[in-house]
Structure 1
Amino acid sequence: MSAPDPSTRPPAAADPSSPPAPQARVPLAIEDWLTVIIMALLALITFANVLVRYFTDASFAWTEEVSVFLMILLAMVASSAAVARNRHIRIEFFADSGPEKRQRALAILGAALVALLFILMAALSARLVWDDIRYGETSPGIGVPQWWYSIWLPIVSIAIALRAIGLMLRGGRPAADNPELPSSPEILDEERAP
């Protein structure tokens, strides 16, 4: 009889002596609900366009432009949630190995660099918005003012930077998820077990 595969073994229970994950001052549910709303809008717009194309051999001209904007906004909102939960992209070999003190220092350094990047991005994109307004730029597809789309980039960049600063202040510890929402497949599997 062979030994059980470690990859199929259920995860170990959380250490009861470890302190609970700190709560974020601004609820993470904001990003969660924005994600749901944006995904629903994308689905509705795409479905309406498919129906119109099928029944009339024409299409809504505005759907592609609005869909691209919503997908970019969705990526930015999801980035904000990932930063707050400390789930942004990293090389796990370096980030999750070694002593806990080193792991925490790398998490704080990573959060500081993310904050710096998005503060810079907010400043540069604010200049882009100002140029769009000053020169009266219009969108290529439907001709609405371009700043209607570009104004969201500095706003969400500031939100991501603030989430990264919050992660830094928590010492690299991710904010606690909404207890009513499962946050990982392991939790879902544990809930399904009898």
Structure 2
Amino acid sequence: MTPPSSSRPGGAAAPDPSSLAPATPPPAKGLWLEDWLTVAIMALLALITFANVIVRYFTDGSFAWTEEISVFLMILLAMVAGSAAVARDLHIRIEYFADRGNARRRKAFARFGALMVALLFALICVLSIRVVYDDYRFEETSPGIGVPQWWYSVWLPIFSALITLRALGLFARQGKASFEAPADDTGEGTVTTKELA
């Protein structure tokens, strides 16, 4: 049963508040990669932590390598989750600026944000390649278990490049998405369903 629609003087129906939010861009393709990597990393973290707890409970020792591996996996998880959040347009934003103004302005702010994320992670990718090269050239080893440090650092440019591509994809999709006009102070507003070129 549909609830009765509230009417205004003059017979104009009140707009649905949910229809005044900015439209989300079309979904990104291939998000199964980030989703499955997140599941795998979380499972590894849980198994490593559980094994270490069991060993500590039944013996006087612990696995020395667990802390180093766990820290690496948590950093990797943050990068993977960051990529998924960029692709799904779920990163935090200052809503006071992002959700105000007309549809064209809101779209411009959204695209500007995606472009800045792409530029930031492209820069991180380029700079971290030098870090990996230095780790390899100087044969740096990890402080905990003594494996080559580049085994850990090589993932930073890889996932920075992935986030850059996801942000560029979001930028392109936002160009095709429609953004509805917000309500003004009286609660009235027009909903734009047409795509903005």
Q: Normalising by the residue count of structure 1, what TM-score does the alignment of the two structures yield?
A: 0.77
Gaps of 5+ in 2: 1-15, 178-197
Aligned position for 1:4? none
Distance 2:68 2:91 in 1: 28
Q: How does 1:98-137 map to 2 (within 5 A)?
A: 98-137=101-140
Q: Distance in 2 between matches of 1:78 and 1:48?
A: 25
Q: 1:34 to 1:136 in 2, by over 3 A?
A: same
Q: CA deviation at 1:23?
A: 3.8
SS of the aligned residue for 1:24 comes to coil
1:148 counterpart residue number? 151
Q: In the alignment, is residue 24 of structure 1 matched against residue 13 of structure 2?
A: no
Cα gap change, 1:155 to 1:20, in 2 (>3 Å): closer
Q: 1:139 maps to which residue?
A: 142
Letter in 2 for 1:72: I
Unaligned residue ranges in structure 1 (runs of 5+)? 1-11, 175-194
Rounded to whole Å, the distance in 2 between the matches of 1:65 and 1:80 is 23
Structure with greater Cα Rg? 2
Offset of residue 90 of structure 1? 1.1
1:122–1:154: 8 Å Cα contact kept in structure 2?
yes
Structure 1 position 20, deviation (Å): 8.5
Normalising by structure 2, report the TM-score. 0.76
Task: Tell me: CA distance 1:40–1:13, structure 2 relative to 1, closer, same or farther (3 Å).
Answer: farther
Q: Is the 8 A contact 1:107 1:172 kept in 2?
A: no
1:46 aligns with one of 44, 49, 52:
49
One-letter code aligned to 1:97: R
User: Residues of 2 paired with 1:29 and 1:59: CA distance?
Assistant: 35
Call closer, same or farther: CA 1:172–1:32 in 2, change over 3 Å.
farther
Is 1:171 aligned to 2:147, yes or no?
no
Could you tell me which residue of structure 2 aligns to residue 69 of structure 1?
Answer: 72
Of the three residues 59, 64, 87, the one matched with 1:56 is 59
Pairing 1:73-88 to 2, within 5 Å after superposition:
73-88=76-91
Deviation at 1:96, TM superposition (A): 1.6
Deviation (angstroms), 1:47: 0.4
Q: For residues 139 and 21 of structure 1, what CA distance do their matches in structure 2 show?
A: 42
Q: How many residues align?
A: 160
